[in-house]
Structure 1
Amino acid sequence: MTPPDEREPLLQFEQPESTHNQSSPAMATTADTTQATNAHSTVDRDEARRILRRVDWRIMPLLFLTYTFSFMDKTILSSAAVFGLREDTHLKGSNYSWVSSIFYFGYFLWAYPTTLLVARLPVAKYLAANTFIWGVVVALTAVCSNYGGLVTVRFFLGVAEATISPALMFITSTWYTRDEIPTRTGIWFAGNSVGGIISSLLAYGIGHITDSISPWRWMFIILGVATFLIGFGILFLLPDTISQAKFLTPEERQWAGDRIVIAGTGRTENATWKWEQTLECLQDPKTWLIWSIALLCQIPNGGTQNFANLVITSFGFTSLQSTLINIPYSIISIAAISGSGWLAGHFRSMNCILVGLVVIPPVVGSALIGSRSSIPHGVSLFGYFLLSTGPAGLPLLLSLVQSNYRGVTKKMTMTALLFIAYCTGNIVGPQLFISTEEPTYDTAFRAIMICYALVICLVAILRIYLQLTNKRRQREEGIQGSAGASGAVGGGKVVDVADSNNVTEAVNTVQLRPEDYEDVTDWKTFGFRYRL
């Protein structure tokens, strides 16, 4: 594990002709005849930091807010369940489990088509349109009076929200370098846990309403209207591409785009869908390792997300108290998500290790809850809080996908597969909470313990595979390469970006050529190395 500031700041070499041609079909014809120079003016380090701050302040609040509401709108169902939703809509037996799961059937149905559209349509406008629809669907949940109505709106909520995560991943990899992606992903994904705190406080406040409209209906009305309004912020403030970012000057836009070509995973503008990249993604062993880990992480998430308040009330707390107890749970999740994201961004060999570390507490926690008949309620509650670090596994996997997949089609195909695993896990999870086992749910917590234990095993295999792949490519190419750069750019030079200062130096000195802007996968990019 080597901190960024201990690495060599710049590694350059002349690329062998045969490998150079492998990087891009067009390189053989353009390399000898075209020598493009950077169109931007030189940017010093202070100016570079200022530009990055402007990008952060424009992009990150919008992504964070969107993800916060995405989580709130999914999980408010758990709070609504203890404030009369099940009684008012006459849910029986496993009905509530299916109301929880059906969301992910809609998500599953739309997960792959929407990744195609995210890459092809103006991403900000497409995300805004989905947000408007999503807000309307959330508000309509308040008028449901039976099982059929709830199932219908929850299904379409899944369809509407299927675009959120792929779009945010696409936007993050468009604007940020490989070293910046994990930290930024951790920031907007922490909106999940912040959403958990806000929804708990909202549910606690609304739970005191005693008018003719049930408290659970007010929850969906308020969140639906707020979500709809968020859509206007996305529409008017979020640019579709770097080249359309009006809050930057033309020179700043050129600099922002070139830094992604040099230290990111390549340019995303004007990319076309390439079926050969889809096939490559399906043939890539790391695809299925990451997919399996995501599935195993989400089976526990699907159950605990929707049954959290029911489990807490079984410890002897009231409905109102159960909403407040989720606040420290969410605070721990925020710390785990943002902290692990920061570490993964600063240490290129820590990502897989961090996935394993954040799922160890849930293994212990689920074992404690599973033994609740022989231990005090206080210990069981402590076990419940240990589950709170588990959600940090998914953003670390999202970071691995954004940082280790090059090629727009390949990355978006992997994104679709990742969220198919996400949906599958969240469909299966609630079904493990068997109604006849209420309130102990023994089967569910045994399954949670097994899933997280398997995650630890698989993530170790993934790390070993990526490490061996890096060593093999190093032997074949004859150079060390870089896990922080885009690969071979600027006439065969590989830039190892140690920190943000070296990004600035590289953008100012490396002369990019037309083929450097081409859409090429990680398999076919000379000098590309995987983050571990």
Structure 2
Amino acid sequence: MALPPEQMPLLQSDSNGYQNDIIMATTDENPEITMPNEAGDVAGNIDQDEARRILRRIDWRIMPLLFVAYMLNFMDKTILSSASVFGLREDTHLKGTQYSWVSSVFYFGYFIWAYPTTLLIARLPVAKYLAGNTFIWGAVVAFTAACANYGGLITVRFFLGVAEATVSPALMFITCTWYTRDEIPIRTGIWFAGNSVGGIISSLLAYGIGHITHSISPWRWMFIILGVATFLLGFGLLFLLPDSISSAKFLTPRERQWAGDRVVIAGTGRTENAGWKWEQMVECLQDPKTWLIWSLALLCQIPNGGTQNFANLVITSFGFTSLQSTLINIPYSCISIAAISGTGWLAGHFRSLNCILIGLIVVPPVVGSALIGSRSSIPHGVSLFGYFLLSTGPAALPLLLSLVQSNYRGVTKKMTMTGMLFIAYCTGNIVGPQLFISAEEPTYATAFRAIMICYALVVCLVAILRVYLQLVNRRRQLEEGMEGNAGTSGTVGGGKVVDITNDLNVNVVVNEVRLRPEDYEDVTDWKTLGFRYRL
């Protein structure tokens, strides 16, 4: 609801860049009061040096745990590809399309649990819930080593999907709980890079274990070692990861209040004590950007589902040995790390680049899949170069995750979108392996033709999404009579609108703006005055 003209907040920055001023409009009708936290504390003035120290302390506590969790999440899921060339298919007597179904069934389990777990993440202590899932997840990975047939593999892979369905939504929830809209893309890029680091470590692990000559096959050792490592991670999450800002014992009460206020002012709202609101769920389903992002996630994950499970089989078809195929994936993972980290940094520093980066990052895979699809008429070296071009494709998903975290307000709306995003993720990863038809081995012409088409469609859809968000920002600017800002939570402090320019500027705003009780309410982006979408 718009304010009367005499109370209309002022704001000079727009969603496409940063300005230099902090502009606030106050009224006598809206007295400034400080909203204390649950312990009755207020933040007071915290200078820039202290703000840097607090943020650094938060980063060192939160980021390593999220990074390791996502790294093991990737390794436990994709070690199947390495295991496939070290005797798994022979020892479990897989035939025909059975390996493809072993790859896909993981995502059936993930699909079934993806939405229910987002409801639980928002309602339960998130760190304890994530830790409990991690114990189960580690045990299931280790039990994979005991499988002796197709039925056993199908069963454990299904339950692995159920166990891992909590990881990505929980990490997204934690990130938007602790960080501002400008910080979310960078922090998401950091923990998502665990994906590619996990690819390097799993390749080195597979290479080392591949030399083992023992009664227990090398592929079984891979699952045992990773299962134990994941189980131990559960203890780290249980004892080191706080459930919320207000329960973070590594911060003082004053620092907790400061950390909470900065997210209320420059994040996507407070996530604590927010009940499930069905009207927010309906709003999410009615939001056009929901379906554009959902479609983008689906198109990005169809290629991912196939390449991550068939990578080693494709590389060995270029004439490399099983051991060599594990090492060749290392430069592939290094390129992915650079793409994920670099695009995350750019998206965090430039509010109008997110969609453009998604479009640019999938162009190399379009070329790469075209080269691999033409492998019968080109040298193996060129086909291998095409395979490396596929490595930038995984950077599209963290950029999509950042769009969801930064552009959705309201806990229920955001978690509904998160659940839908990972349903699309599962669907794409179920479809992807089925495109690698065993009769076409080792060229897999159908699969690489489909990968090329999917990424080409991503370029088209992300352009539509960007134009749509621009039009919505322009319409809201005209309706509300203010320019708005893509770095803030909207209007706060009884009619004040703040212009966030960078991380340090956030602290100035926290010290200047006196938050009111209603600023802590769980409100969606549609109903937040001054909220503008990142492009």
Q: How high is the TM-score relative to the length of structure 2?
A: 0.95
**Superposition map of 1:368-379 within 5 A:** 368-379=371-382
**Superposition map of 1:255-266 within 5 A:** 255-266=258-269
CA contact (8 A) 1:336 1:392 kept: yes
Mapped to 2, the partners of 1:132 and 1:59 lie a distance apart of: 19
Give the match for residue 275 of structure 1.
278
Mapped to 2, the partners of 1:37 and 1:345 lie a distance apart of: 28
Give the AA of the match of 1:43: I
**Deviations, residues 187-227 of structure 1 (Å, cap 9, x unaligned):** 00000000000000000000001110000000000000000
Mapped to 1, the partners of 2:180 and 2:22 lie a distance apart of: 16
Give the match for residue 23 of structure 2.
11
In the TM superposition, residue 4 of structure 1 has moved relative to its aligned partner by: 9.2
Mapped to 2, the partners of 1:49 and 1:34 lie a distance apart of: 26
Question: Is residue 155 of structure 1 aligned with residue 158 of structure 2?
Answer: yes
Give the match for residue 317 of structure 1.
320
In the TM superposition, residue 494 of structure 1 has moved relative to its aligned partner by: 1.2
Which segments of 5 or more consecutive residues in structure 2 lack a partner in the other structure? 1-12, 37-41
Give the AA of the match of 1:420: I
The one of 193, 215, 219 aligned to 1:190: 193
Question: Is residue 65 of structure 1 aligned with residue 77 of structure 2?
Answer: no
In the TM superposition, residue 36 of structure 1 has moved relative to its aligned partner by: 3.8
- SS of match in other structure, 1:488: coil
In the TM superposition, residue 54 of structure 1 has moved relative to its aligned partner by: 0.1
CA contact (8 A) 1:203 1:323 kept: yes
- SS of match in other structure, 2:86: helix
- SS of match in other structure, 1:327: helix
Give the match for residue 464 of structure 1.
467
Give the match for residue 292 of structure 2.
289
- SS of match in other structure, 1:494: coil
Mapped to 2, the partners of 1:140 and 1:390 lie a distance apart of: 31
**Superposition map of 1:89-488 within 5 A:** 89-488=92-491
**Deviations, residues 210-252 of structure 1 (Å, cap 9, x unaligned):** 1100000000000000000000000000000000100000000
The one of 86, 90, 94 aligned to 1:87: 90
Mapped to 2, the partners of 1:383 and 1:9 lie a distance apart of: 47
Which segments of 5 or more consecutive residues in structure 1 lack a partner in the other structure? 18-30
Give the AA of the match of 1:390: G
Mapped to 2, the partners of 1:421 and 1:179 lie a distance apart of: 26
Mapped to 1, the partners of 2:88 and 2:281 lie a distance apart of: 43
In the TM superposition, residue 32 of structure 1 has moved relative to its aligned partner by: 6.1
CA contact (8 A) 1:480 1:527 kept: yes
In the TM superposition, residue 8 of structure 1 has moved relative to its aligned partner by: 3.0
- SS of match in other structure, 1:306: helix
> How many percent of aligned residue pairs carry the same amino acid?
82
**Deviations, residues 500-529 of structure 1 (Å, cap 9, x unaligned):** 221011000101000000000000000000
The alpha-carbon distance between structure 1 residues 14 and 455, as it changes in their structure 2 partners (threshold 3 A), is farther
- SS of match in other structure, 1:489: coil
CA contact (8 A) 2:17 2:350 kept: no
CA contact (8 A) 1:3 1:347 kept: no
Mapped to 2, the partners of 1:37 and 1:401 lie a distance apart of: 28
In the TM superposition, residue 9 of structure 1 has moved relative to its aligned partner by: 3.1
**Deviations, residues 101-142 of structure 1 (Å, cap 9, x unaligned):** 000000000000000000000000000000000000000000
Give the AA of the match of 2:21: P
- SS of match in other structure, 2:362: helix
Give the AA of the match of 1:10: I
- SS of match in other structure, 1:83: coil
CA contact (8 A) 1:4 1:499 kept: no
CA contact (8 A) 2:32 2:494 kept: no
Question: Is residue 49 of structure 1 aligned with residue 61 of structure 2?
Answer: no
**Deviations, residues 286-329 of structure 1 (Å, cap 9, x unaligned):** 00000000000000000000000000000000000000000000
Mapped to 1, the partners of 2:384 and 2:252 lie a distance apart of: 53
**Deviations, residues 368-421 of structure 1 (Å, cap 9, x unaligned):** 000000000000000000000000000000000000000000000000000000
Give the AA of the match of 1:384: Y
Mapped to 1, the partners of 2:92 and 2:45 lie a distance apart of: 64
Q: How high is the TM-score relative to the length of structure 1?
A: 0.96
The alpha-carbon distance between structure 1 residues 290 and 6, as it changes in their structure 2 partners (threshold 3 A), is closer
**Deviations, residues 7-42 of structure 1 (Å, cap 9, x unaligned):** 133133469x9xxxxxxxxxxxxx868844562121
**Deviations, residues 155-182 of structure 1 (Å, cap 9, x unaligned):** 0000000000000000000000000000
The alpha-carbon distance between structure 1 residues 412 and 6, as it changes in their structure 2 partners (threshold 3 A), is closer
The alpha-carbon distance between structure 1 residues 32 and 6, as it changes in their structure 2 partners (threshold 3 A), is closer
Give the AA of the match of 2:373: G
Mapped to 2, the partners of 1:403 and 1:13 lie a distance apart of: 25
Mapped to 2, the partners of 1:41 and 1:34 lie a distance apart of: 14
**Deviations, residues 323-342 of structure 1 (Å, cap 9, x unaligned):** 00000000000000000000
CA contact (8 A) 1:127 1:164 kept: yes
Give the match for residue 27 of structure 1.
none
CA contact (8 A) 1:491 1:512 kept: yes
**Aligned CA-pair RMSD:** 1.5
Give the AA of the match of 1:106: G
The alpha-carbon distance between structure 1 residues 416 and 3, as it changes in their structure 2 partners (threshold 3 A), is closer
Mapped to 1, the partners of 2:89 and 2:403 lie a distance apart of: 39
How many matched pairs?
518
Mapped to 1, the partners of 2:523 and 2:456 lie a distance apart of: 36
